[in-house]
Every structure is written in structure tokens, then in C-alpha cells.
């Protein structure tokens, strides 16, 4: 279960990086404030696997909305109070159907995650570039015998 949460957090960080890259040049100031309010709401919610899946789904649709340059419902309003699981009802009907019927991705983690001493915890928090390379160097010491 902990591995599933780590994978979901990794996916969330990738989507968050896409969001940050798109935000500044595509939205006006009032829409930026709304989008950031949604991000703050989504960042605070992921205590269960179901919440983390839903949080990532919300962020996915928010990123799509930002990339076209116009916030679509529900992101054109302030995020409502309450837990994220109670927010399914604010999504448009066509998106709710997609979320409920879509299979959840189960992508294998790259080998670098399994080989790193922290099992990829550091990498999961790092932004991933849209193009180019991502370089990771780890220096660890071995105990002398």
C-alpha cells in the first residue's frame, strides 16, 4: 500500500510540474489565483489511496484546463470546503463518468527507484523536465570491514 501511495505522489508531482510550466503564460491573474487555490486544496488531501487517486484526477483535469488557457468547471470557482472525496459531485458529469470507468494506471517504477538507497523518495519530489535529460547522482559510502 505504501508503494501505491508513493507512485501516486510521484504522478502528482509530475502533473504539478506540468501545471507550473503552463500557469504563468496561459491564464489571467484572477484565473491564476483560482488555479492556485485548487492546487493548495489538492496538496492538502491524500490520506488514503482513494483520495490520492481522486486528487490526481482533479489535477489532471486542472492541467488540461490551464493548458487551453481557460479554466473550466469546477476550476472556475473557488474550491469548496470539505474532504476531496466529497468533491466528486463538483466535477462535470462527463468527467465523473470518465473517472469512475477509467482503469487506474499501474506503471512499473523505473529501476533507478528500486536501486536508490531511499527507494526513490528524493526523486519523487523532483521536477521532471519536459524535454532533455534528468541526471541523478548519488554518493554513498560503504562501511570499512
Tell whether 115 is covered by a domain.
yes
The reply to whether 118 falls in a domain is yes
Mean pLDDT of 118-144: 69
pLDDT in tens, 28-61: 888 899 999 999 999 887 778 888 888 888 898 8
Say how many domains are in the chain.
Answer: 1
Question: Which domain, by its residues, includes 97?
Answer: 2-124
Rounded to whole angstroms, the Cα distance separating 99 from 55 reads: 11
Higher-pLDDT residue of 132 and 64 is 64
Kindly state whether residue 132 falls inside one of the protein's structural domains.
no
User: Helices in 1-145 by DSSP H: which ranges?
Assistant: 2-26, 29-43, 49-67, 93-101, 111-115, 121-124
| Predicted pLDDT of residue 5 | 82
Calculate helix-pair angle for 49-67, 2-26, nearest 10 degrees: 20
* Residue 112 belongs to some domain of the structure: yes
- Its pTM stands at 0.63
**pLDDT at residue 103, as a whole number:** 46
Mean pLDDT computed over 70-88: 84
* % of the chain with per-residue pLDDT over 70: 74
Question: 93-101 and 49-67 are packed helices; what angle lies between their axes, rounded to 10 degrees?
Answer: 130
Q: Is residue 137 part of a domain?
A: no
**In-domain check, residue 135:** no
Asked whether the predicted pLDDT for residue 100 surpasses 90, the reply is: no
Amino acid at each position: 500500500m505504501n508503494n501505491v501511495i508513493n507512485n501516486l505522489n510521484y504522478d502528482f508531482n509530475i502533473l504539478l510540474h506540468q501545471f507550473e510550466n503552463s500557469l504563468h503564460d496561459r491564464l489571467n491573474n484572477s484565473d491564476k489565483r483560482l488555479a492556485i487555490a485548487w492546487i493548495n486544496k489538492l496538496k492538502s488531501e491524500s490520506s488514503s489511496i482513494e483520495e490520492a487517486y481522486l486528487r490526481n484526477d482533479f489535477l489532471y483535469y486542472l492541467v488540461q484546463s490551464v493548458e487551453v488557457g481557460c479554466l473550466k468547471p469546477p476550476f472556475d470557482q473557488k474550491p469548496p470546503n470539505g474532504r476531496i472525496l466529497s468533491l466528486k459531485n463538483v466535477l462535470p458529469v462527463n468527467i465523473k463518468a470518465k473517472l469512475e470507468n477509467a482503469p487506474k494506471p499501474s506503471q512499473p517504477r523505473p529501476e533507478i527507484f528500486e536501486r536508490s538507497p531511499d527507494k526513490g523518495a528524493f526523486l519523487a519530489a523532483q521536477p521532471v523536465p519536459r524535454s532533455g535529460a534528468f541526471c541523478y547522482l548519488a554518493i554513498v559510502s560503504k562501511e570499512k570491514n
